Amino acid sequence: MIKKFVVSVFCMLVIISGFSFGVLAEQNKKIIISENIIVDVNPIEKNDYSLNTNSNPVVNITSPENGTYLPTPILEILGYAYSPDGLNFIEIFYYWNNYLSDYENGTFNASNYVNFRIQITILQPGTHKIVVRFSDIYNHSGSDSVTVYYTGNQPPEKPDKPSGPNTGSIDVSYSYSTASTDPENNQIYYFFNWGDGSDSGWLGPYTAGFTISATHKWTIENSYSIKVKAKDTLSAESSWSESLTVTISREENSPPNKPATPNGDASGKIGVSYIYESSTTDSDGDQIYYLFDWAMVLIANGLDPMTVVTSVRNHTYGTQKEAIVSK
């Protein structure tokens, strides 16, 4: 069993009416009980303790509550002990899965009242019971115990169902968001499955509970089920989220609007080139090809697509004809 104990004992005098006390002040000091337990003793006041009340010390563990499930592999126990006859000895019994895993003890300068703190780190999964026993200078003893549980590192909660558009067009990126929490409040990675054989890879880590987003685009018309799972920084993975079905279709293409009437000379001479221009728009924002129909003669078939909406072309007439633009 790998663990570490840290025990702090803070001692103070409680004055009881009817008793006289000789006082001795002492500086802070650390009593090394073992390599695993350290007792910190505060400045104390010491009395003669001339009477033996034959009463057992009162010991009370105030935290944690009995039956607590620990979120992390660290157990901290707080409490106090009291005896009018003067406490001077502490014992700690540590049980793991009902087996006495460790026992530690130590002495300190006698005091009526003691605050104590015990810390055990690197807990293994299982049941953990701590018994704290104090004795007074007449060997009367009292104790208290607490039992807690540690189940080991838990995976993040199942992430929220991905939130985002459930319809779309091919080759358009869409954003989807989700969030999860972690029992130990570890940071979280997220993994999106896009339903088309691809995934996002592990994204993160992010703070637990923080909403995150990822984007994806599909290249084939179909319906896709996207889902996401989470893992913490200790590699414990959650189950998959509920799936969101996304239907991807090819965007319906609308034709450009009717071009404007060509602008240019309405008459001219044979053998002379003239410039004519026209423009239009496209509701889908697509680039536009222009075809100028020089009356009966097709001259400019297959012009390059243009990024501007205005097309300018020149033409030389061999006969007297009007030029028009057709889509």
Report pLDDT digits (tens) over 213-248: 999 999 999 999 999 999 999 889 999 999 999 999
State the chain's mean pLDDT as an integer: 79
Indicate whether 38 and 141 sit together in one domain. Answer: yes
- Higher pLDDT: 311 or 195? It is 195
Q: Which of 70-74, 124-128, 319-323 is modeled with the greatest confidence? A: 124-128
Please check the confidence at residue 14 and state whether its pLDDT lies above 50.
no
pLDDT at 17: 26
Indicate whether 218 and 275 sit together in one domain. Answer: no
Beta carbons of 55 and 125 less than 8 angstroms apart? no
Q: Which of 217, 249, 281 is the last residue of a domain?
A: 249
Indicate whether 214 and 274 sit together in one domain. Answer: no
Question: What's the DSSP call for residue 233?
Answer: T
Indicate whether 120 and 197 sit together in one domain. Answer: no
Indicate whether 204 and 274 sit together in one domain. Answer: no
Distance, in Å, from the CA atom of 89 to the CA atom of 39, rounded to the nearest integer, reads 11
Number of independent structural domains in the chain? 3
pLDDT at 51: 64
Q: Look up the pTM and report it.
A: 0.49
pLDDT at 46: 52
DSSP string, 50-90: ------PPEEEEEES-TTPBPSSSEEEEEEEEEEEEEEEEE
DSSP string, 13-56: --PPTT----------EEEE-SSS-EEEE--------------P
